[in-house]
Amino acid sequence: MVSMYLSSMLFLLSGSLSCLVLSLLCLKSGQAWFIEWELLSLNSSSIVMTLILDWMSFMFLGFVMFISSMVLYYSGEYMHGDSNMNRFMYLVLAFVMSMGFLIISPNLISILLGWDGLGLVSYALVIYYQNEKSANAGMLTALSNRVGDVAILLAISLFFSCGGWNFLFYVENMPIIGSGGLLCGLVVLAAMTKSAQIPFSAWLPAAMAAPTPVSALVHSSTLVTAGVYLLIRFSPALEGRLSQTVLLLLSSLTMFMAGLGANFEYDLKKIIALSTLSQLGVMMSILSLGYADLAFFHLLAHALFKALLFMCAGAVIHSVKDYQDIRMMGGLVYHMPLTGMCMNLANLALCGTPFLAGFYSKDMILEVAFMSPINLVSFLLYALATGLTVCYTMRLVYYSLSGDFNLGNLYSISDEGKIMTNPMMGLSVGAVFGGATLAWLIFPCPYMICMSPVFKMLALIVSVIGGVLGYLLNLNAVNYNLNSLKYYNSVVFSGSMWFMPFLSTYGASKNFLGSGETYQSVGDMGWSEYYGGQGIYSFIMSSSKILQVFQDNSMKIYMLSFLLWVIVLVFVVV
């Protein structure tokens, strides 16, 4: 019998190849298919099921399917022996289906199905392991994404005034729509939750509680890019809006915060998650400068090498028996040369090393951003974040690959079997050639870059400084005094993502839970109970008792009422 991981891989790989070929055809001919079924027409607003099949959706779909196929094949060994392996496979396939649905939907209602499907399946994948940590992470993930779902729902209700939900028809004319500003704000909010921008960043590193193949697919290259993809489709509507300016500031801050946090993080997967967050910030910021094509280019190139990086991290974690702490690793390049090579490749691509996948997109983004009229804060954040990316990458290389062997126990560490290394090799090809190929395909005419030599060299200079610092800061003498202890507060602040996980959980729920408790003690169990349930009960009881006395046919009552009537009549007569 063919294993499920193998059949899924073949199915997705064939789908991926078909999509990529169709994408090339669309690119070449400039065609796009728009398929529409009208389901219901209500008050001149038609509810239609719409699919858009253009080069962009085909290409993104092809990449998603390619990465999913590699990840599913990889899972065949990574998840081997797991008691719920089939459930895992079905969940990943459901995730790919939701993602596909989102990619080919140009309609806000049908996009919600894919969007919500992603939220639901990602929750199920984060809580795949049954421990408390996963439950907490899953809840944080689901609730953070729920904010975005609500924003989409509100946007749907606002779109009603346009007479349809096919946003592709309206994005060009958004300025003349009355509630256009609010609508753009809501879509940007939704995208920010899915792409984990500040202040919704806490869920992405927390979601690393999921199995590593899930992180490779969901939390690096597909789910988190859904927000970027939505904004790419919406980008014409955002031009000149307040939401665009806010997005630029928040995405630049996210980029910087994640880069800084990764330099103080010790969990291997969380370092990579923070690096994803940083790259998402890059995509969002260039998008908010109005270059949607560059954001899409970086989205695809980043997906290739980030999935590879996660796969290598998974191989390392598998090998060192579930340790994820980089302090417990080191010298792995001698024991796992193939994984080390792939990991270095992905790391170098991430840093934007010339001619690897990240170089083409990242370098172009930086140069275009430096040419744009951005403010000084955003410019500084861009430059610092670029340096920090190389810094944490070199730190990671030192700790896990080239530094001293630091593992507590000497397990038999070696490169895993072929089922794990083959997909890594497949993605390595993508990490090397993906950027150049995409650049040739997406940009037939090169971007005109015109800037002073200082600006031209800036990206290179900050990268070199970052890399040297990242490596040298970790080469310490035996009697070295840790500077981290001298600047303890700053280190804890940076290493805890500016306390965002704390603020997103305790900070967000404290006041509501507190007011709920007050309401319960004062209202439900206080005044409302005293005058409501108990008060009405005692009033009816005492009234019934009085009525009972009247109904007992007592002689005294007759005499009393006779007397009362006599008094009344006497007063009336007199």
CA 435 to chain centre: 23
Q: Is 490 in the site for other proteins (CB under 8 A)?
A: no
By beta-carbon proximity to other proteins, the closer residue of 168 and 328 is: 328
CA 238 to chain centre: 21
Interface residue with other proteins among 266, 487, 502, 539 (CB under 8 A) is 266
Nearest to 148 by CA among 227, 70, 206, 72: 227
Residue 70-109 contact track with other proteins, rule CB under 8 A, x = bound: ------------xx--------------------------
Q: Is the peptide bond before 199 cis (omega within 30 degrees of 0)?
A: yes
**What spatial distance separates the first Cα and last Cα of the chain, rounded to whole Å?**
111
Least spacing, CB of residue 421 vs other proteins, in Å: 23
Interface residue with other proteins among 161, 484, 509, 542 (CB under 8 A) is 484
Residues 202-221 that bind other proteins (CB under 8 A): 209
By beta-carbon proximity to other proteins, the closer residue of 137 and 231 is: 137
By beta-carbon proximity to other proteins, the closer residue of 4 and 491 is: 491
Q: Is 496 in the site for other proteins (CB under 8 A)?
A: yes
Q: CA-based angle 69:338:432, to the nearest 5?
A: 60
Query: Residues with Cβ < 8 Å from 463, sequence gap 6 or more?
Result: 351, 352, 386, 387, 389, 390
Least spacing, CB of residue 328 vs other proteins, in Å: 7
Least spacing, CB of residue 311 vs other proteins, in Å: 18
DSSP string, 213-279: HHHHHIIIIITTHHHHHHHHHHHHHHTT-HHHHHHHHHHHHHHHHHHHHHTT--BHHHHHHHHHHHH
Q: 378 is written with which tokens? A: 């955003």
Q: Is 11 in the site for other proteins (CB under 8 A)?
A: no
d(CA 344, CA 348): 6
Residues 404-423 that bind other proteins (CB under 8 A): 404, 406
Nearest to 247 by CA among 500, 219, 237: 237
Q: Is 476 in the site for other proteins (CB under 8 A)?
A: yes
Q: Residue 145, Cβ neighbours under 10 Å: how many?
A: 26
Q: Is 267 in the site for other proteins (CB under 8 A)?
A: yes
Residues 319-338 that bind other proteins (CB under 8 A): 321-325, 327-328
Interface residue with other proteins among 181, 495, 507, 526 (CB under 8 A) is 495
At 51, which helix (H) or strand (E)? strand 45-53
Residue type, 441: L
Question: Which segment (231-239, 423-431, 463-471, 479-487) binds other proteins by CB under 8 A?
Answer: 479-487
By beta-carbon proximity to other proteins, the closer residue of 324 and 421 is: 324
d(CA 260, CA 239): 30
Q: Is 562 in the site for other proteins (CB under 8 A)?
A: no
Interface residue with other proteins among 1, 40, 42, 485 (CB under 8 A) is 485
Residue type, 349: A
By beta-carbon proximity to other proteins, the closer residue of 40 and 475 is: 475
Q: Is 538 in the site for other proteins (CB under 8 A)?
A: no
User: Residues binding other proteins: what is the number (CB under 8 A)?
Assistant: 34
Question: Which residues would be at the binding site for other proteins (CB under 8 A)?
Answer: 82-83, 129-134, 209, 265-267, 321-325, 327-328, 399, 404, 406, 476, 478-480, 482, 484-485, 488, 491-492, 495-496
